A and B are shown apart, each in its own frame.
Chain A
Amino acid sequence: MGELKLMKGNEAIAEAAIRAGVDAYFGYPITPQSEVIEYLMAEQPEERTGMVVLQAESELAAINMVYGAAAAGKKVFTSSSSPGISLYQEGISYIAGAELPCVIANVVRGGPGLGTIQPSQADYFQSTKGGGHGDYKLYVLAPASVQEMADFIQLGFDIAYKYRNPVMIQSDGMIGQMMEKVELADQRPRWTDEEIKQMHDSWAAFGKGDHRERNIITSLDLDSAKQEKHNHHLQAKYRRMEEEEVLFEEINCEDAEYLIVAYGSSARISMKSIDLARAKGIKAGLFRPITLYPFPMKQLNAYVGKVKGILSVEMSAGQLIEDIKLAVECNVPVKHFGRYGGMIHSPEEVLTALENLIKGE
């Protein structure tokens, strides 16, 4: 068993990054995510592992530092919160186009605009449908506990390197700020320059030597035929992710007549609502997408014909519900419930919404 600690989600993700052997963190502080960079600055990982931690002059600088370091084959992590992630979008699109691995955490706050500093899930579309320009996808993980905040760092890098694709961890102010028990993984060494050469010689730009042509990191190709070919290649990669990398959890779903579909903190709140519903004799289950992209389409579609209704519980005004409707191809009635703008729904409010769905209201 690894080391047990009581940590905030933001601290856990920072410590997990050090232990995953990350080479560099670039970021810019913003509430409710600032504990990530605060923790890293206080821990001074350059003394523990040689990891670089740098507060950039802006979000634009930070994401382009990520782009540069990832291009050199280095393991890079960054984090921000909603308005900051909006500023990242140009860089994220370039990183996806240039097929570079990195992990980005978004500790979502209420919007739009500067919004509020309280928790929200209103960045679902931005994370899953392409926040920047062009046809690209991020692999999007939605942690529902402090433990998952820590675990998804290593998982995120595994996926990022397997597919050479940026990975987004979409958390929120609740998971970021709350403390829970977390079991930390053992320290992994950072890759040596020799290891990076062996593993990433086919694409990374770290100096070519004499043995090969230079690797070019770019998202630009003015030859449209080539650009279309590149797009086909990206799409094939995303289809493979959809086949092989979907993650989800089912709680009390076996005999369920009604499903709540929720992710992240809404899933945690809904777990309680399910218990309250069961105590009242309502056969309710919770289906929790862990990957928001790729969304567990087939897995949710398996409930068509089995459940009478689905409630989409999200701290957003109807974003998750679109993927649910696509998954069940509108063969099951799907309703939305959620508070937003930084308000958190209570387990009882979710239960009332579920009862209204059952009554057909």
Chain B
Amino acid sequence: MTEEIIIAGFGGQGVLSMGKILAYSGIMQNQEVSWMPSYGPEMRGGTANVTVIVSDDRISSPVLNFYDTAIILNQQSMDKFEKTVKPGGLLLYDPNGIIHHPQRKDIKIFKIEAAKLSAEMGNTKIFNMVVLGAYLKLKPIVKLENVIRGLKKSIPERYHKLIPMNESALTKGMENPVEVFLN
């Protein structure tokens, strides 16, 4: 199994940390992982994206042009990354703020209302965990218990009291992805 993922959105949406938690979850079940951020000028301009690869085998290139899954969290990223999903691959996005919805018919498209759901839960900071939950429902490449173990590894101990809230956000995400069918 090799899963090549791009996660893209605004800085501050938790894109990089979501990738980090996913990578740590892979380590928790003895998989190979890589996490390659975009940085430099882009980091200062608002958009943030990270390439995460989780694999049973040695990982070759940590930078890619095409992905099994694109998780897209703003319009700029939709414009840039919709075309990079491999045929038959997955595009998961939050429709909040999206004007031009995805058009491709050769991939699977799912929506997750993560901004709305996290606001309803009273904490927009768990937005990225709702998205991650939805992704793991669609592609269960890591077990939930290993995500929790990954969370414990990737956040400082003083924040461990927040883990139950993150867990309920993951569950919320798992319950809510909606498939988009294009005519």
A interface residues (Cβ-Cβ under 8 A, vs B): 4, 6, 32, 116-118, 174, 177-181, 265, 268-275, 344, 346-348
Contacts and interface: CB of A to CB of B under 8 A. Distances in A.
B65 A268 contact: no
Given A6-B20, A6-B23, A347-B65, A177 B33 contact: no
Interface residue SS majority, chain B: mixed
Interface in B1-60: 20, 23-24, 27, 32-37, 39-40, 59-60
A346 B60 contact: no
Given A6-B27, A180-B35, A181-B32, 6 more contacts: A178-B35, A179-B34, A180-B33, A269-B63, A271-B61, A274-B60
A181 B33 contact: yes
B64 A178 contact: no
A6 B40 contact: no
B40 A117 contact: yes
B154 interface: yes
A307 to B, nearest CB: 21
Nearest to B24: A6
B153 interface: yes
A116 B37 CA distance: 17
A274 B36 CA distance: 21
B62 interface: yes
A268 B37 contact: no
B61 A268 contact: yes
B56 to A, nearest CB: 13
B40 A4 contact: no
A268 B153 CA distance: 27
Nearest to A7: B35
6 contacts: A6-B24, A6-B153, A116-B40, A178-B37, A268-B59, A269-B63
A312 B35 CA distance: 26
Contact of B62 (A181, A268, A348): A268
The 7 closest A-B CB pairs, nearest first, are: A271-B60, A272-B61, A179-B35, A272-B60, A269-B61, A178-B36, A346-B65
A275 B60 contact: yes
A273 B63 CA distance: 12
A107 B174 CA distance: 40
A177 B61 contact: no
Contact of A174 (B60, B63, B66): B63
B33 A178 contact: no
Contact of A180 (B34, B39, B61, B64): B34
Contacts of B32: 180-181
A4 B24 CA distance: 10
